[in-house]
Amino acid sequence: MAKSIQAIRGMHDVLPQQSPLWQFLEQRVATVLKAYGYREIRMPILEVTELFKRSIGEVTDIVEKEMYTFDDRNGLSVTMRPEGTAGCVRAAMENGLLHNQTQRLWYQGPMFRYEKPQKGRYRQFHQIGVETYGMAGPDIDAEVILITARIWAALGIPELELQLNTLGTPDERQAYREELVAYFSDNAALLDEDSQRRLTTNPLRILDSKNPDMRDMLDKAPTLMSHLGEESQSHFAFIRETLDSAGVSYTINPRLVRGLDYYSRTVFEWVTDQLGAQGTVCAGGRYDGLVEQLGGKPVPAVGFAMGIERLIAILEMLQPDAATVNADIYLVLLGEEATRSGLVMAEQLRDALPQLEIVANCGGGGMKAQFKRADRSGARFALVLGDSELENGTVVVKPLRSDDAQIEISRDDVVTALKQRFA
């Protein structure tokens, strides 16, 4: 007997009993984004590899180690998207969405990175992302952070911590980078192997190291705040004051630098201690230089992405029944003629009661077996149709979640009776 084929490591199925919670999350987030005037965009999963090399940075872990990259049949190097921002910028540029316009966009879908699978980290993972273009002031930075806070409220997720930082302008960051390199060079003996490699490629990422042996040295490292000019300080102050006024609490984290090269000024993360090592559930910031980096004219931009699997894990812990989906009505159909007639009746009920979930028994079975299926469906009522009901033009309405007695009514009265019960 041939060995059965299994899913690729780090890539998971979302099973029918799990998908309602995903739908609950996706619908709540979409409702919030629509309320703020954001429009959905859908980009392809495959992009040319050069897009991510130019946007994320060739010396980042994502490009060097984690991307799913291969040559297609024409020899073109293509990559399964590891994140959504670069593809969204490419789509906006290619389709003329950035010329003298402002845009508020959002997307959702799978991303791919070849990482070591663990709880909250998968090789195929899903994100909902938001990208805004054409707005240079701190007001849009504040708005996207306020959106995330409203999303957590809509999902019923409390106690996420907002961490906030600013990376300044590229010139300010370059001056800081030089001071940081000098500091780390003086403390080279304390750097781990990964940090020593980053010292010549991306020294700011050393600040984000989780190595406890480096913590004391990192705490004493120079901070970027001392290199910020008046405009950057004012930009950051506006965001903080707006969040204060809106009642959104936050922590300033000077070690928050984000893992992608295209960020500038505002960066933020929402983190939790409920998921072990994978504590970040949403992250983003400003990336004014990315459009120009990809060949367009300079366009200010701000965005964020949230990890759906990590949010689902929190929802499962906090409110496992939040999105439980049960049928409303289950049709128990006894016999061939009753099944044929019952399928037609089910269609009529769906026309009259489109808000209800109506399941008609298929696959045969006796009364006992069908009532077991009805019970497993979670339906509140069973409608029973057999030979005697066909002959009399009636249907039996049997409550499944209460001790109320069943009743037999005319088929002409079924819609009215169900409307009363589901009012």
Of 302, 234, 238, 298, the residue nearest 267 (C-alpha): 302
pLDDT bracket for residue 277 (50, 70, 90): low
pLDDT at residue 379 in the model = 94
| Token duo for residue 95 | 């389709």
> Can you give the CATH number for the domain in which 359 is found?
3.40.50.800
CA–CA distance, 105 with 303 (Å, rounded to integer): 9
pLDDT bracket for residue 92 (50, 70, 90): very high
Taking only the tens place, the pLDDT of each residue in 336-356 is 999 999 999 999 999 999 999
Domain residues for the domain of 272 are 19-168+228-318
**How many H helices and E strands in the chain?**
15, 16
User: b/e string for 12-47 if b means 16 or more Cβ within 10 A?
Assistant: eeeeeeeeebbebbeebbeebbeeeebeebebeeeb
Taking only the tens place, the pLDDT of each residue in 24-75 is 999 999 999 999 999 999 999 999 999 999 888 776 778 888 999 999 999 9
Whether the per-residue pLDDT at 100 is higher than 80: the answer is: yes
Please state whether beta strands 103-112 and 39-40 pair in parallel, antiparallel, or not at all (unpaired).
parallel
Residues 283 and 342 in one domain: no
Q: Is residue 213 situated within a structural domain?
A: no
Whether the per-residue pLDDT at 211 is higher than 80: the answer is: yes
pLDDT at residue 179 in the model = 86
Lowest mean pLDDT segment, chosen from 97-101, 115-119, 238-242, 384-388 = 115-119
Residues 154 and 243 in one domain: yes
> Can you give the CATH number for the domain in which 306 is found?
3.30.930.10
Residues 307 and 372 in one domain: no
CA–CA distance, 180 with 344 (Å, rounded to integer): 74
Residues 294 and 412 in one domain: no
CA–CA distance, 284 with 301 (Å, rounded to integer): 11
pLDDT at residue 261 in the model = 59
List phi, psi (to 5°) of 140: -75, -30
Residues 155 and 301 in one domain: yes
Is residue 183 within 8 A of residue 206, CB to CB? The reply is no
pLDDT at residue 346 in the model = 95
pLDDT at residue 17 in the model = 85
Of 265, 296, 318, which residue constitutes the final position of a domain?
318
Is residue 55 within 8 A of residue 62, CB to CB? The reply is no
Residues 158 and 25 in one domain: yes
Whether the per-residue pLDDT at 266 is higher than 90: the answer is: yes
Residues 288 and 356 in one domain: no
Q: Is residue 174 situated within a structural domain?
A: no
Dihedral sign for Cα 115, 121, 125, 130, please.
negative
Is residue 203 within 8 A of residue 261, CB to CB? The reply is no
Q: How many whole angstroms from its chain centre is CA 304?
A: 10
Q: Is residue 9 situated within a structural domain?
A: no
Of 295, 318, 341, which residue constitutes the final position of a domain?
318
Share of the chain above pLDDT 90, in %: 68
Residues 308 and 344 in one domain: no
